[in-house]
Structure 1
Amino acid sequence: MASVTISDIFDTKCDIERVDLRKAAAKRAQRGFKNPEEQAISICEYHDDLQSITGRRPTFSLLISTWESSKNPFFREACAYLPMQEELYLTSNLLQPSNSGQSPIILISKVQLSRNDAGDIQAVEWQKLRPPPNMPMPSSGTEFKDGILFCSQGGPAPGTGGLYYMPWNKPPRPVVTNFAGWDFNSVHDVAQARDGSLWFTDPCHGFDKDFRPQPLLPCQVYRYVPDTGDLRAMADGFGRPHGITFNPDESIIYITDTDAFRGGTEHEPTRAATIYAFDVIKRSGSPFLANKRVFAFAMSRIPMGIVCDDAGNVYAGCAGGVEIWNAGGSILGVIEVPGGAASLSFGRDGELFVCSEQRLWRVKLAGRQASPIL
């Protein structure tokens, strides 16, 4: 597909509002979520410690937007940054085809970043790509070796879905596509540990959205070791496990559960919209997940993509934007994004990329980096 170049990208200072957390509910009810038609990101500060993350002068820039034209949700998942190539890879939400006889599809976006001498992004080249036939319905992804590791949710046919490695400028190849011969449900997000193992979530989003068959496995979290082929189920008991990330020393893993959202407009407020934390422990020389606990219940519900910075702070894309907690689970503040946030990733020094369905944003913070094992 043809590429589009967007130039004259500029940074704008974020407005910061200090809000007493005890009055936050009334304040939010009065203000509501940021209107999707707005063109600005702002920050709601609940705790003084947020300043160590935002700095004194955080800025934002709008890299790409389809809000004013097609409103197609091209910027939802993956948000995988390749620093050597200065490329960002993203996946769309379900896109309805122009021909009513065709099934919905998910496209991949490749965004080439052009920076000035100060390191700020001044232009991007955006190209939409159809996923290869052997990697249907891609969702999240992460930098891996010299390319990207994509999660493929799979299609209607059996034997589809799993983890796929796509070397830079080369076709993807399967890494793991089933559990003991049973098809995964809808592999959604993946994180790589320092030992090379791949930890990934497997909700049943594809079945919820009618492009995957009846699930054959529980909604679980798995660990796969590419060098040995060892594949283990590590945790169950989720409604819809979604995002996954480690803390900096790899002693804790965070997993989001989006069970309150089943696709479309269906929302069940009594179900989980929760971030769970597990301790990563060793038993008989192997890692296990122990001490499952509620780390946070998202204030604006539906925590999806999740990342951890080098200080142990946790960031999640939610309906109101990017909610930020310290390692103790206390909410520090919210980067309020028009239309909410789905996924996010760190770029260069203090840079956060945020996917918001019809928009791709860059937020410049005070220098926080991704957790070093990501």
Structure 2
Amino acid sequence: MSVRTAVTALALGSSAYAQSYTLSNPELANFTIIDESFKEILGANASIELIYNATEPLFHEGPAYNVSGDTLYVSSNRITLPAGQVDASTSNQTIKLSVVKGISSEDVSAITVEQLSPSFNMPNGGAAHLGASGILWTAQGTKNATSGIYSIPDPVNNPDQSFPVVTSFFGNQFNSPNDVTVNPADNGTIWFTDPNYGSSQGLRNAPQLPPQVYRYDPASDSTRIAADGFEEPNGLAFNSAGDVLYVTDASKSDTNPTGTATIYAFDVITSPGTFVTNKRVFAYAPSGIPDGIKVDSKGNVWSGTGVGVVVWNAAGQMLGEISISGGVSNFGFGADESTVFVLDEELLWRVTLA
């Protein structure tokens, strides 16, 4: 499936770099080098391989990787119900949660996708539990079903068994939780974003709360607002030290061209109490909106955007892209940072950095 091809990448306004990498479909997925330091991230033998081609947009959000089962859990984009099926509570839409098995297999034909049946409604973002084999998932809910954060304790053996972690804030239903992560430096607290997408997309009723970022503390079973002042808080991630939080604010669209497409950074302070402070603009998406976001062990910030997965260093300098035709909503690392799984709606890509 793979071929060797030369990648010519134009730096912003500067001369072109030329590199050779392994690309299975160079017309759809490529590397764009903006700063020389991106070559160090890619390594000498980087590759992009198309590992699955679905007939529906199964690869949209999540994703959560489970190393023990070599499995990747992903949620689909909104899918219109088949003719004859009606569900007014979701405006005749559904979202599928799937597991990709054998995702690291060298034999692409051995990779399989199976649909799951969780007990929560309209899944979106997922993340691994801290120090556990389970995964967390956001549930956007429906007009009739509550939204919130859910846990799947044993995704390998019992992927359909889940339980609610938090489903309301002082009696108010969340709008449509979008992404979730765990802060390793804050005793395993669970942080999540709650934009208004569910209402605007016909999944939820009118919002009861502003679009905000929340912090749930399992030790005290308490939830509080961590940050507000967003238009549509979307993805979120901590650096490895847990002392910087990045949040993507994504309201820009074809009908709202001046909406936000910004990544904000916050400092996290933990004594006394845990708060975020010093909000600042970290970066602006070069195209589309910044969606899913991750921070690698060296402090580089990765985000899915309208051009693919863009990488910035900790100073906010854009280094390069995993350029994907049509853009990327989300992506995730595998067992380590040498593997990146890129979600491209019907297509699933495996990027190897070496």
SS for the counterpart of 1:93 is coil
Distance 1:312 1:11 in 2: 31
Offset from partner CA, 1:222-275 (integer Å, 9 cap, x none)? 0001121121101111111000001121111000011113xxxx4422111010
Shift of 1:100: 4.5
User: Partner residue of 2:96?
Assistant: 107
Q: What does 1:40-119 correspond to in 2, within 5 Å?
A: 40-66=28-54, 70=55, 72-102=56-86, 103-113=92-102, 115=104
Give the conservation status (yes or no) of the 8 Å contact 2:5–2:26: no
Q: Give the residue type in structure 2 aligned to 1:365.
A: L
Q: Tell me whether 1:298 sits opposite 2:289 in the alignment.
A: no
Q: Tell me whether 1:172 sits opposite 2:162 in the alignment.
A: yes
Give the conservation status (yes or no) of the 8 Å contact 1:15–1:42: no
* Alignment size in residue pairs: 332
Q: Give the residue type in structure 1 aligned to 2:298.
A: A
Distance 2:316 2:213 in 1: 22
Q: Give the residue type in structure 2 aligned to 1:254.
A: Y
Q: What does 1:190-201 correspond to in 2, within 5 Å?
A: 190-194=180-184, 195-201=187-193
Distance 1:48 1:23 in 2: 11
Distance 2:297 2:347 in 1: 27
Give the conservation status (yes or no) of the 8 Å contact 1:131–1:137: no
1:86 to 1:12, Cα distance in 2 relative to 1, 3 A: farther
5+ residue gaps in structure 1? 1-9, 28-36, 367-374
Q: What does 1:1-374 correspond to in 2, within 5 Å?
A: 11-13=2-4, 15-22=6-13, 40-66=28-54, 70=55, 72-102=56-86, 103-113=92-102, 115=104, 123-132=110-119, 135-144=120-129, 145-157=132-144, 160-168=146-154, 169-170=157-158, 171-194=161-184, 195-261=187-253, 266-283=254-271, 285-349=272-336, 350-366=338-354
Q: Give the residue type in structure 2 aligned to 1:335.
A: I
Offset from partner CA, 1:151-204 (integer Å, 9 cap, x none)? 00011126x010000122331100000001100000110110111100100001
Q: TM-score normalized by structure 1? A: 0.84
Shift of 1:18: 3.4
Shift of 1:39: 5.5
- Indicate the RMSD between aligned Cα atoms, in angstroms: 2.0
Q: Give the residue type in structure 2 aligned to 1:112.
A: K
Shift of 1:23: 5.6
Q: TM-score normalized by structure 2? A: 0.89
Distance 2:152 2:264 in 1: 30
User: Partner residue of 2:21?
Assistant: none
Distance 1:357 1:114 in 2: 16
Shift of 1:365: 1.1
1:38 to 1:15, Cα distance in 2 relative to 1, 3 A: closer
Distance 1:100 1:331 in 2: 48
5+ residue gaps in structure 2? 17-24, 87-91
Shift of 1:92: 0.4
Give the conservation status (yes or no) of the 8 Å contact 1:252–1:277: yes
Q: Give the residue type in structure 2 aligned to 1:137.
A: M
1:161 to 1:190, Cα distance in 2 relative to 1, 3 A: same
Give the conservation status (yes or no) of the 8 Å contact 1:75–1:357: yes
Give the conservation status (yes or no) of the 8 Å contact 1:76–1:90: yes
SS for the counterpart of 1:42 is strand
Shift of 1:20: 2.9
1:115 to 1:299, Cα distance in 2 relative to 1, 3 A: closer
Give the conservation status (yes or no) of the 8 Å contact 1:300–1:318: yes
1:104 to 1:15, Cα distance in 2 relative to 1, 3 A: farther
